[in-house]
Amino acid sequence: MKKRVLLGMSGGIDSSVAAMILQERGFEVMGVTFIFSGDVESNSHHSSQAAKSLADALGISHIVVDLRTEFKELVINYFINDYVSGKTPFPCAVCNPQLKFKFLEKIASDCSCNFIATGHYVRITEKQGIKYISSGRDRDKDQAFFLWGLKKELIEKLVFPLGDLLKQDIRQYAKERGFVSLNEKKESLGICFIEGNNYRNFLIDNGLTGSPGNFIDLQGNVLGRHKGIYYYTIGQRRGLGLQMNKPLFVSEIRVESNEVFLSDFDTMYRNRIFLENTHFVEEKLVRSDKTYSVKIRYRLQENLCTITLLPENRAIVQLKEPLAMVAKGQTAVIYEDDCVLGGGFIEGSE
């Protein structure tokens, strides 16, 4: 009896090659494509058609599931509400555990699939009898940072066919099997539901225009006027509209007073990060006397740290070396070697 796997398919090269590899490994593959946004004329629709065509070519079953309502209620509303609260949201950290993988798990159960697969560039590593998401071989494409919120029971069912491959291997794999057109597809970049990755226009379209207020320095001096707090994010330097004799960066956004604080880059370093809504694969194995590493942005290098878990899904991350541009609302992901132990949402720093 073949092992049965449910594969999330976007119509792109990664999930398509994942389907081929799974077949070669002896899996019976069933594909599913989620529609998260747009309409029947949108890219989402074209992606589902591309996935269906690939599934037909490989002789695997394929379904399309419309999750636009759930996506709006969970992800888009969260995204907007975080900006209203003066935070910098990270929608993937909500979408992956609470929507995408939640529905993959449900559909897999309904369709009697033993395993769940995606085209993510990550691996599964077992330590002390527990399976963790770990970094993929292709460090430039590694996506472990985005999957810190997945629960232990789900990770045990996951298969990642691309984890040990490089992107160039994937392209060659598709070419050798006659799927040359897959190499011509553009890769998605930025926030998937925002056209052109222009989040400011997206916020305006959703009624968040903001009102002008003051730019303030750390001494309380008014430096000028801003267009509205939704136009700015922590660490921003360009687009401030100020003529100053030195570079200034957004260091704090205060919703209550509608003020945006600016400072020198040197003043933005922090030694401690406070987390809320934390999740760890195996919380009891996370020790306060042990050194781990933390990453607060996808392309940022990991920093050594210790972590103290607190009640009510909170934690304090003590950095070995200070980090700059720690933004409320973003996520901090905790690693041990290449394994993702878990993470949380940044609620503050000092």
H helix intervals, the chain: 13-24, 43-58, 68-71, 77-84, 92-95, 101-110, 152-155, 167-176, 199-205
192 classed as catalytic: yes
Measured N-to-C along each axis, helices 43-58 and 13-24 cross at an angle, to the nearest 10 degrees, of: 20
Q: Is 10 annotated as a binding residue?
A: yes
Query: What are phi and psi for residue 124, nearest 5 degrees?
Result: -110, 125
Rounded Cα distance, 26 and 21, in Å? 9
Rounded Cα distance, 131 and 124, in Å? 6
159 beta partners:
117
- Catalytic residue, chosen from 111, 113, 192, 339, is 192
339 classed as catalytic: no
Rounded Cα distance, 341 and 350, in Å? 23
Max CA pair span of the chain: 72
Beta 249-254 vs 314-323: how paired, if at all? Answer: unpaired
**What token pair was written down for 37?**
């946004």
Rounded Cα distance, 334 and 133, in Å? 12
Q: Is 13 annotated as a binding residue?
A: yes
Q: Is 14 annotated as a binding residue?
A: yes
Q: Is 181 annotated as a binding residue?
A: no
**What token pair was written down for 183?**
């190499």
Closest residue by Cα to residue 235 from 267, 272, 273: 267
- Catalytic residue, chosen from 92, 95, 113, 339, is 95
224: enclosing H helix or E strand? strand 222-226
CB 177 within 8 A of CB 11: no
Rounded Cα distance, 173 and 57, in Å? 16
CB 218 within 8 A of CB 261: yes
Q: Sort residue 258 into left (φ over 0), alpha (ψ -120 to 50) or beta.
A: left
Q: End-to-end distance of the chain based on CA atoms, in angstroms?
A: 56
Q: Is 119 annotated as a binding residue?
A: yes
Q: Is 34 annotated as a binding residue?
A: yes
Binding positions are 8-15, 34, 119
Residues annotated in a binding site for ATP:
8-15, 34, 119
Residue numbers annotated as active site: 95, 192
